[in-house]
Structure formats: C-alpha cells, structure tokens
Structure 1
Amino acid sequence: MIMEILTNLILSYIGSVSFGIIINVPHRLLNAAGLTGVCGWMTYLLFHDLNLGIFISNFMGALVIGLISYLFAKYKKVPILNFNVSGLICLAPGALTYKGVHDTVFNGVNSGLNVVVRVMIVILALAVGTMLSQLIDEAFKRIIKKIRA
C-alpha cells in the first residue's frame, strides 16, 4: 500500500515535470509544476478509490490542479498555464483514447464507442474542473477586493 502511494507520487511528479520541460516551463517553476501534478493525481486516486466514478474523480483532480495553479501563479508571479498544463497531463486520457481507437478498428464501432464516450466524459470533467477553479479564483478576488475597500 505504501509502496503503491510512493510510486504514484514519484511517477506523477516525474510526468508533470517532464511535460513541463517539453512545453518550456522555466526551470525555476518545474518543482511547483511537479507538485501541482502530484496533488491533482493524488486527488484523482482518492476519489477513484472511493468508487465515485470517472467524472467526479477527474473533475476533483482538475479542480485541485486549477486551484493550486492559481496559488503558485500568484506566489511566483507568472502565468497560470505554467502549472495548469503540466499538472493536467497526468489526468489526460491518452491510454483510454488509444483503447477506444483500437477497439473501434479491431472490434467494431459499437465496442469502440463505449470507450470513446468515456474519453469524452473525462475531457468534459477536466474542462469543467478547470473552469470551476477559475470561477472560484475570481470570486475569491472579488471578496478580497470588497474587504479591502
């Protein structure tokens, strides 16, 4: 159990940092990008282990990634995309997409369509989670603005 958690922590960090390097995230931000990915992946795993479904699991992972990205972007004074994109890569449904295309080609359209629908659900969850984190950030900024005024 502990070994599995440690493996997930290390691999999600490496995946996020590696993708950050690919998309030219500045070197001083790579650690924060890796931590963003780790938090999102561990949130996903938590909700996945609670059997809450692929939508809720991916939605919560994307929400956490979005909120942490806003915190790091504010703290480091850089654009949010440096953290958001690197963090979301761990949740991207690449293997599921491949399986959907594979099943469509070799097992027929009906077999592949079920997997493609699951891919669309994951993509929708990531988009909604990211947008909700932006709405939460905007609401938080407005509240702070009213308090200071």
Structure 2
Amino acid sequence: MSLIINIVCVYAATIGFGLLINLPRRALNVAGLVSLSGWLVYYVVDVHLSSYLFADILGTFTVGILSIFASRFKKMPVIIFNIPALVPLVPGGQAYQVMKCLATGNSALAKSNLVQVIFIAGGIATGFLFAEFLNQLYNRFKYYVIQKKH
C-alpha cells in the first residue's frame, strides 16, 4: 500500500512542480510518467541492491532516455521533461539535514550528510551524461547508416 501512495505522490509532485514552473499543459502528463518511471527504477535498485548512488544513476539515466523519447514524441525541448522529472530524485532531505546539523553544531553528521548529497548530485549528473552519450551515439550511427546508403 505504501508503494501505491509513493507512486501517487511522485506523480503529483512532478505535475505540481510542472505547474509551478509553467510547463505547457500538453507536457504535464508525459513529464509525470517520465518522472514516475525514473523513480520506480530508483526505488527498485535502492531496495534490491541497497545502493543509493547506483539507484540515482540508473534512475536519472532512465529519466534522461525517456525525456529524449518524450521530446521527440511531443516535438518539444528535452528540458521540459528533464527538470520536473528530477524532483523525486533530488537530495532535498539530505541537504536539509546538512543545514540542520550545522545549525545544531553536529559537524560530524553534517559532513557525512554533505558527502552523501555530493555523491547523489554527482550520480544525477552521471546519469544524464550517460543518457546524452547514448543519444549522441545513436544519432551518429543513424547518420552514418544514412550516409552509407547514399
């Protein structure tokens, strides 16, 4: 039951953030589905492998690939789908814990949480990097095949 509640909340948070940043109405549902897919990959990897870093990389990679497909399908820029889909993957809770620990004087725990935030941010960047690399590789291969035919 908690998984269903999480799924609804992830979708609603993405749609809400999309409305907040004025996404076009025709992109909201697809952005929500891209976000939900990325979060589900994150959740499955995190639960089964207990690796938040690898889960973040794969979740963001999924968001990146699906955003590319969504942008081609809707004929809209990729960033329209990337930005709201990242909402569930951003380490906001850990960043809050860093600030709270610094304010209360617990610097050891603050350092630990800060390292976690940095790794998660790096994982998000890495996931997008891999997705874009795969997209560029596909485009070059497609161009090469078309040139070979002519």
For 2:83, the equivalent position in structure 1 comes to: 85
Measure the CA separation in 2 of the matches of 1:52 and 1:137. 29
For 2:73, the equivalent position in structure 1 comes to: 75
Measure the CA separation in 1 of the matches of 2:137 and 2:6. 33
Measure the CA separation in 1 of the matches of 2:45 and 2:22. 31
For 2:24, the equivalent position in structure 1 comes to: 26
Q: Deviations over 1:77-102 (max 9, x none)?
A: 11001100010111011111101111
TM-score by length of 2: 0.94
Superposed, 1:106-117 pairs within 5 Å as: 106-117=104-115
Give the aligned residue type for 1:94.
G
Measure the CA separation in 1 of the matches of 2:8 and 2:106. 38
Give the aligned residue type for 1:30.
L
Q: Alignment length, in residue pairs?
A: 147
Which structure 2 segments of 5+ residues have no match? none
Q: Please, what is the CA RMSD of the aligned residues? A: 1.1
TM-score by length of 1: 0.94
Q: Secondary structure at the match of 1:24?
A: coil
TM superposition shift of 1:11:
0.9
Measure the CA separation in 2 of the matches of 1:32 and 1:100. 33
Moved more, 48-57 or 25-34: 48-57
Give the aligned residue type for 2:55.
S
Q: Secondary structure at the match of 2:86?
A: helix
Which structure 1 segments of 5+ residues have no match? none
Measure the CA separation in 2 of the matches of 1:28 and 1:75. 11
Q: Secondary structure at the match of 1:25?
A: coil
Q: After the TM superposition, which parts of structure 1 deviate over 4 Å for at least 4 consecutive aligned residues?
A: none
